[in-house]
């Protein structure tokens, strides 16, 4: 989401920062892949028969807002996302460390010219109505997404021209240009496979199956009580390992404080935690707590079309006046880290460690503003309007801290707090100086073009640098990761030099769950977290 905290998975699903998978924990695809987005990925040999299912227990999860439908591809819906991850499969998924792992695919291979990607499918995968999953489903879904401009992922995988189906279990993506980021985006949002035999020839936005979905995932849809709950049950014909739970139910609880009380009361088994609640749950043996940092930094977007922000020295002075440690300590209550890179450090391979923000230096910032022709007039040099939005307390607190920090170099900040859609409209119209925001920047550095590419919808700063655009095109066209890195590193150097944005902090988000639960996808101490994609409860078990 443009600005939400963790973005689509913008919202509620904090995950934990975790160490690398321990060697010997299992031959996961992530380990085979080694690093993100190689030219090929080979998973374990697919099972020749459906693994046996031993089911026990019902886990109650929670979402804050009811899903708008159960069709995960035609429009973005952060609240359907965690449910869809268990009902459906995408071709690939992202594990807890943002590595690409296979989901419905067993592997892929990029052609030497980079213009096609051959994807092999799980041979035993079936839809919940018993129909086998075939390449025709992949063809329908991906072509439908690409051809529907309203679809969330349409612009992300626009390099896909068509999908060939040489056999039932092989789909070949035909690309209009080499695009290394396609695989990453096919692991992400709005790219769940849909059953062609249900959707083909119908309006996918209003198809009846949108209210009673037929997926291929580890859990099947049972019922939906509007505004109350969603009930799923184990898919005993699931092609892979798991599920282990008889049922998965989502209780819809909008208020985070009520979620916490429901968790304490044993009414639900898993909930996100407001930061203030972390110590309480960490000291409670009935619960486990997991934290995670998403590649979703809080940053200041600067309006380059407004004076004096069109002056790079002014932008640099602002960057020098920001004390990130103080923001972490106060606005985030210590639950986060300073973000000093121009691509989040969380996706380490793509983050240039040498392209960083200027050092904190108040005297230097004041001197820079003096020499740039903005002398102090009394206590102030000039005023700037900073827009931020409701519903994200830490962001609001960061705004207050920034106002104080920038006052130290004679910049008066007028804080303007708006409801999200109003904020989005005003920033989109260019009526602002600084926008305080966040937003998911993964899973691939190609995402840099979305926020800073010339004319891009999320580039509200008016940053236009043909050299930057060109580097991103070259980065996406290169086929191996080694070849891609230099382009993205150079692009980040340009951002560090031009400063259309000032990265601030990375927030750690937390969730707590009953200690009877194991195999939770975001529990970094649990090997299962490297074997399943985000939000997937495929390997989760409940004891007792």
Question: Contact positions toward other proteins, by CB under 8 A?
Answer: 1-2, 7-8, 10, 58, 60, 65-66, 68-69, 75-76, 149-152, 154-156, 189-190, 205-206, 210-211, 225-229, 249, 251-255, 257-258, 261-262, 264-265, 267-268, 418-422, 424-426, 428, 439-440, 447, 450, 455-458
CB of 149 to other proteins, least distance (A): 4
Cα four-point dihedral sign 435, 438, 439, 440: positive
CA 434 to chain centre: 23
Dist CA 137 CA 133 (whole Å)? 7
Report the residue number, 222 or 329, with the smaller CB distance to other proteins.
Answer: 222
CB of 108 to other proteins, least distance (A): 22
Q: Which letter, b or e, does each residue of 480-503 get, where b requires 16 or more Cβ atoms within 10 Å of its Cβ? A: ebeebbebbbbbbbbbbebbbbbb
CA 405 to chain centre: 30
Report the residue number, 373 or 430, with the smaller CB distance to other proteins.
Answer: 430
CB of 538 to other proteins, least distance (A): 21
The answer to whether 89 and 125 have CB atoms below 8 angstroms apart is yes
Please name the residue that has the structure tokens 């305080």. 436
Please name the residue that has the structure tokens 């007028």. 414
Dist CA 83 CA 64 (whole Å)? 12
Report the residue number, 225 or 286, with the smaller CB distance to other proteins.
Answer: 225
Which alpha helices (H) appear in 168-251, and where do they start and end?
181-185, 196-199
Report the residue number, 60 or 321, with the smaller CB distance to other proteins.
Answer: 60
Q: Which letter, b or e, does each residue of 107-133 get, where b requires 16 or more Cβ atoms within 10 Å of its Cβ? A: bbbbbeebbbbbbbbbebbbbbeeeeb
Report the residue number, 58 or 165, with the smaller CB distance to other proteins.
Answer: 58
Any bridge partners for residue 237, and if so which?
none
CB of 361 to other proteins, least distance (A): 33
> Helix, strand, or coil here: 428?
helix
CB of 391 to other proteins, least distance (A): 9
Report the residue number, 405 or 426, with the smaller CB distance to other proteins.
Answer: 426
CB of 144 to other proteins, least distance (A): 14
Nearest to 360 by CA among 328, 335, 387: 328
Report the residue number, 185 or 239, with the smaller CB distance to other proteins.
Answer: 185
Report the residue number, 137 or 424, with the smaller CB distance to other proteins.
Answer: 424
Indicate the pairing of strand 411-418 with strand 382-389: parallel
343 preceded by a cis bond (ω within 30 of 0): no
Q: What beta strand segments (E) does 22-130 contain?
A: 40-42, 58-63, 92-94, 100-102, 105-110, 116-121
CB of 490 to other proteins, least distance (A): 22
CB of 199 to other proteins, least distance (A): 14
CB of 63 to other proteins, least distance (A): 11
What's the token pair of residue 386? Answer: 């900073």
CB of 7 to other proteins, least distance (A): 5
Report the residue number, 207 or 326, with the smaller CB distance to other proteins.
Answer: 207
Terminal C-alpha separation, the chain = 38
Report the residue number, 258 or 333, with the smaller CB distance to other proteins.
Answer: 258
Report the residue number, 58 or 126, with the smaller CB distance to other proteins.
Answer: 58
Residues in contact with 186: Cβ distance below 8 Å, sequence separation at least 6, in sequence order: 90, 91, 92, 157
CB of 225 to other proteins, least distance (A): 7
CB of 152 to other proteins, least distance (A): 5
Residues in contact with 230: Cβ distance below 8 Å, sequence separation at least 6, in sequence order: 63, 67, 83, 223, 224, 249, 250, 252
CB of 280 to other proteins, least distance (A): 12
Report the residue number, 191 or 528, with the smaller CB distance to other proteins.
Answer: 191
Give Cα separations from 335 to 213, 293, 506 (angstroms).
38, 10, 9
The answer to whether 172 and 115 have CB atoms below 8 angstroms apart is no
284 preceded by a cis bond (ω within 30 of 0): no
Report the residue number, 21 or 153, with the smaller CB distance to other proteins.
Answer: 153
């Amino acid at each position: 989401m443009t600005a939400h905290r963790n973005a689509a998975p913008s919202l509620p699903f904090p995950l934990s920062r975790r160490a690398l998978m321990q060697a010997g924990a299992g031959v996961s695809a992530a380990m085979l892949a080694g690093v993100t987005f190689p030219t090929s990925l080979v998973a374990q040999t697919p099972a020749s028969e459906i693994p046996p299912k031993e089911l026990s227990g019902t886990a109650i999860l929670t979402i804050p807002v009811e899903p708008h439908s159960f069709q995960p591809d035609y429009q973005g819906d952060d609240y359907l996302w965690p449910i869809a991850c268990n009902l459906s499969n995408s071709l690939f998924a992202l594990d807890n460390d943002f590595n690409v792992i296979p989901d419905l695919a067993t592997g892929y291979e990029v052609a030497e010219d980079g213009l096609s990607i051959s994807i092999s499918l799980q041979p035993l995968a079936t839809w919940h109505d018993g129909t086998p999953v075939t390449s025709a489903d992949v063809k329908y879904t991906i072509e439908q997404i690409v051809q529907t401009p309203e679809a969330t992922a349409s612009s992300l995988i626009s390099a896909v021209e068509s999908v060939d189906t040489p056999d039932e279990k092989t789909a070949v993506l035909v690309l209009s240009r080499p695009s290394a980021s396609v695989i990453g985006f096919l692991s992400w949002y709005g790219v769940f496979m849909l059953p062609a035999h249900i959707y083909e020839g119908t309006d996918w936005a209003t198809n009846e199956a949108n209210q009673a979905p037929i997926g291929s995932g580890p859990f099947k849809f049972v019922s939906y009580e509007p505004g109350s709950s969603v009930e799923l049950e184990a898919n005993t014909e699931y092609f892979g390992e798991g599920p282990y739970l008889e049922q998965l139910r989502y209780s819809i609880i909008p208020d985070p404080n009520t979620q916490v009380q429901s968790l304490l009361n044993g009414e639900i088994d898993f909930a996100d935690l407001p930061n203030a609640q972390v110590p309480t749950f960490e000291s409670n043996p009935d619960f486990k707590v997991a934290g995670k940092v998403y590649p979703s930094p809080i940053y200041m977007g600067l309006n380059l079309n407004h004076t004096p922000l069109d002056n790079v020295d002014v932008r640099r002075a602002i960057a020098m006046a920001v004390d990130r440690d103080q923001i972490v300590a106060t606005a985030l209550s210590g639950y986060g880290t300073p973000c000093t890179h121009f691509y989040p450090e969380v996706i380490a391979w793509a983050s240039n460690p040498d392209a960083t923000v200027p050092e904190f230096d108040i005297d230097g910032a004041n001197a820079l503003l003096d020499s740039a022709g903005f002398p102090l007039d009394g206590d102030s040099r000039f005023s700037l309007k900073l827009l931020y939005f409701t519903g994200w307390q830490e962001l609001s607190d960061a705004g207050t801290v920034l106002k104080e920090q920038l006052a130290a170099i004679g910049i008066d900040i007028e804080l303007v707090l708006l409801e999200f859609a109003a904020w989005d409209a005003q920033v989109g119209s260019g009526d602002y100086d600084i926008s305080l925001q966040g937003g998911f920047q993964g899973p691939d550095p190609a995402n840099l073009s979305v926020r800073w590419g010339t004319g891009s919808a999320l580039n509200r700063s008016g940053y236009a640098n043909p050299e930057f655009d060109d580097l991103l095109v070259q980065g996406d066209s290169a086929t191996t990761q080694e070849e891609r890195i230099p382009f993205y590193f150079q692009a980040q150097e340009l951002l560090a030099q031009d400063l259309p944005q000032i990265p601030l902090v990375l927030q750690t988000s937390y969730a707590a769950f009953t200690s009877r639960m194991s195999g939770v996808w975001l529990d970094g101490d649990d090997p299962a977290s490297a074997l399943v994609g985000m939000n997937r409860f495929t390997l989760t078990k409940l004891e007792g």
